[in-house]
Amino acid sequence: MDAQQSGEPDATAVRTALWRALHTLIDDAPHVLDDTIGLRLAGVDETWRERPDMDPVRTRPNRASIVARSRAAEDALAASGAGARQLVVLGAGLDTTAQRYPGDVRVFEIDAPATQAWKRARLADLGLLDPARLTLVPVDFEVDESWLSAATEAGLNPATPTVVSMLGVAMYLTRDAISATLRQAASLAPGSMMVMGFSRPIEMAPAEIRPLLEGAAAGAAASGHPWLSLLSPDDAVALARGAGFAEVQVVTSEDLHARYFADRADGLSPVGGEDLVIATV
């Protein structure tokens, strides 16, 4: 039985939350993202930092990429101005934007039904569930259910400018599924924005990062969640334009380094990690 069937977050979602916390706990200030709420959600025991996938040196590129993409999505939301008061998080996992983001925004988290049931209970147990702020929307992507229809039924107003984020998800989807997801986002009100993370083919990554990516790809395949779509920047732009977005830009991992890491003395860098497409309706 996998995590979604058992009603628990999958291992990737937990690992991502722990990397965000590890950045806050061990990396030099200023922190790109300050998030230990995901650690509380995960409910791991006190030995979590001894896990091999939490090695503070070997996993530095991973956690740098994780916090950079999350920070960039939140900055895009802030830059959208007074118009965007709705945020949709696709494949939310243990996302904590609803608990941390200081602005006035209603968050709709989209994920598998069993995972959403688990998260609802966990947030309630921790006293972190605010129904006025966060709506958990169960969607079964395996049966091609429309996330936009489900979110609209849950209270999303598609006529209001909305920011949609999808981070660490695209590589697990087929290109057809990515296109369908983008088309739904592009049908939202003018001024709406999509922030989509994507991973390049491994051979396009810096040589020193390739072994990490090869190991991650092998681990994903072994867990039953293989990487299905590795995209070049040109591929990602073409998918977004084909979905109907009026403006499309790529923010590379090198751009993220320049934006958030250039002045750091600890060598932390997201280069070789996820790039982003930021597309506006």
Predicted pLDDT at 81: 64
Question: How many angstroms separate the Cα of 145 from the Cα of each of 110, 112, 124, 223?
Answer: 11, 11, 27, 24
- Identify the band that residue 203 occupies on the pLDDT scale cut at 50, 70 and 90: confident
| 87 in Cβ contact with 165 (< 8 Å) | yes
- Residues 55, 56, 57, 58, CA torsion sign: positive
CATH number at residue 160: 3.40.50.150
Q: Is the pLDDT of residue 4 over 50?
A: no
Percentage of the chain modeled with pLDDT above 70: 96
Instruction: Give the model confidence (pLDDT) of 80-136 as tens digits.
Output: 865 578 999 999 999 999 999 998 899 999 999 999 999 999 999 999 999 999 999
Q: Is the pLDDT of residue 31 over 90?
A: yes
Q: Which residue has the higher pLDDT, 80 or 27?
A: 27
Query: In this structure, what is the dihedral angle of CA atoms 193, 195, 196, 198, given to the nearest 10 degrees?
Result: 140
| 42 in Cβ contact with 9 (< 8 Å) | yes
Side by side, the strands of the sheet bearing 193-198 are 134-138, 106-111, 86-90, 162-166, 193-198, 275-280, 247-251
279: phi then psi, degrees, rounded to nearest 5: -120, 135
Please give the structure tokens belonging to residue 213.
């990516």
Instruction: Give bridge partners of residue 275 from the DSSP assignment.
Output: 198
Q: Is the pLDDT of residue 1 over 70?
A: no
| 275 in Cβ contact with 252 (< 8 Å) | yes
Predicted pLDDT at 7: 62
Instruction: Give bridge partners of residue 134 from the DSSP assignment.
Output: 107
User: How crowded is residue 87: how many other Cβ atoms within 10 Å of its Cβ?
Assistant: 28
Predicted pLDDT at 3: 45
3-state secondary structure (DSSP) of residue 178: helix
Q: Which residues contact 8 (CB under 8 A, 6 or more apart)?
A: 114, 115, 118
Single pTM value for the model: 0.92
Distance CA 74, CA 252 (A): 16
Instruction: Give the model confidence (pLDDT) of 206-216 as tens digits.
Output: 787 788 778 77
User: Could you tell me the residue range of the domain that residue 257 belongs to?
Assistant: 3-280
Please give the structure tokens belonging to residue 276.
């982003």
Q: How many domains does the chain have?
A: 1
196 closest CA partner among 240, 132, 228: 240
Please give the structure tokens belonging to residue 165.
């984020």
Angle CA 270–52–224, to nearest 5: 80
Please give the structure tokens belonging to residue 229.
């779509």
Q: Is the pLDDT of residue 60 over 50?
A: yes
User: How crowded is residue 47: how many other Cβ atoms within 10 Å of its Cβ?
Assistant: 8
Q: Is the pLDDT of residue 49 over 60?
A: yes
Q: Is the pLDDT of residue 6 over 60?
A: no
Instruction: Give the model confidence (pLDDT) of 155-201 as tens digits.
Output: 999 999 999 999 999 999 999 999 999 999 999 999 999 999 999 98
Instruction: Give the model confidence (pLDDT) of 162-174 as tens digits.
Output: 999 999 999 999 9
Predicted pLDDT at 271: 92
Instruction: Give bridge partners of residue 247 from the DSSP assignment.
Output: 280
Please give the structure tokens belonging to residue 83.
């118009």
